[in-house]
Structure 1
Amino acid sequence: MPSSSSSRTFVLIAALVAVLLVGAAGGMLISRGTTSEDAPPSADSVDVGFAQDMRVHHLQAVTMAGIERDNTSDPILQGFAFDVESTQLAQSSEMAGWLTVWGHPQLPAVGKPYMQWMSEGGTHTHSNGEGGKTTGAVQRMPGMATSDELNKLRKLTGKELDVFFLQLMLRHHEGGLEMAQYAADHAARGYVRNLAEKIVASQQSETDLMKSYLAERGAQPLPFP
Structure 2
Amino acid sequence: MTRTTWVAAVAVALALIFAGWATVTALGRDTGGAPAAAVPGDDSADAGFARDMAVHHQQAVEMSFIVRDRTQDEEVRRLAYDIANTQANQRGMLLGWLDMWGLPKIAPDREPMAWMSGHGGHGASAAASPAASGHGGHDGHGASAPAASGHGGHASAGADAPLMPGMATKSELEQLRRASGRQAEILYLRLMTDHHKGGVAMAQGCVDQCRVTLERDLAQGMVDAQESEIALMTDLLAKRGAKPRG
1:112 is aligned to: 110
Evaluate the alpha carbon distance shift between residue 13 and residue 217 of structure 1 in structure 2; reply closer, same or farther with a 3 A threshold. same
Q: Out of 189, 193, 199, which is 2:212 matched to?
A: 189
Structure 1 residues 44 and 70: alpha-carbon distance in aligned structure 2, compared to 1, 3 A threshold = same
Equivalent position of 1:41 in the other structure: 40
Post-superposition, which runs of at least 4 consecutive aligned residues in structure 1 deviate over 6 A?
12-15
Following superposition, the deviation at residue 172 of structure 1 comes to 0.4
Which residue of the partner structure matches residue 179 of structure 1? Answer: 202
Query: Would the alpha carbon gap of residues 122 and 92 (structure 1) be closer, same or farther in structure 2, given more than 3 Å must change?
Result: closer
Per residue, is there more helix in 1 or in 2?
Answer: 1
1:89 and 2:88 aligned: yes
Instruction: Look up the match of 2:147.
Output: none
TM-score by length of 2: 0.76
CA separation of 1:13/1:131 partners in 2, compared to 1, >3 Å: closer, same or farther? closer
Match of 2:159?
A: none
| Structure 1 vs Structure 2 CA RMSD | 2.8
- In the TM superposition, residue 18 of structure 1 has moved relative to its aligned partner by 6.1
The structural deviation recorded for 1:26 is 2.3
| Aligned-pair CA distance for 1:121 | 10
> Equivalents in 2 of 1:56, 1:33: separation in Å?
26
Identity of aligned residues (%): 40
1:100-159 deviation per Cα after TM superposition (whole angstroms, max 9, x unaligned): 1111122332x6311111124979x83245349xxxx96531111110100111011111
Deviation at 1:38, TM superposition (A): 2.0
Asked whether the equivalents of residues 126 and 178 of structure 1 are also in contact (C-alpha less than 8 Å), the reply is: no
Superposition deviation, residue 75 in structure 1: 1.2
Per the alignment, residue 3 of structure 1 pairs with none
Counterpart amino acid of residue 20 in structure 1 = A
- Give the C-alpha shift of residue 34 in structure 1: 4.5
Separation in 1 of the partners of 2:216 and 2:18? Answer: 16
Question: How many residues are treated as equivalent by the alignment?
Answer: 210
**TM-score normalised to structure 1 length:** 0.83
Name which of 19, 26, 39 aligns with 1:31. Answer: 26
Q: Any idea what the Cα deviations from partners look like across 1:166-196, whole Å, max 9, x if unmatched?
A: 0000110011111101101211110010000
> Is 1:73 equivalent to 2:103 in the alignment?
no
Output the CA distance in 2 between the equivalents of 1:113 and 1:88: 23
> Separation in 2 of the partners of 1:145 and 1:158?
19
Does the aligned pair in 1 maintain the 2:166–2:199 contact within 8 Å? yes
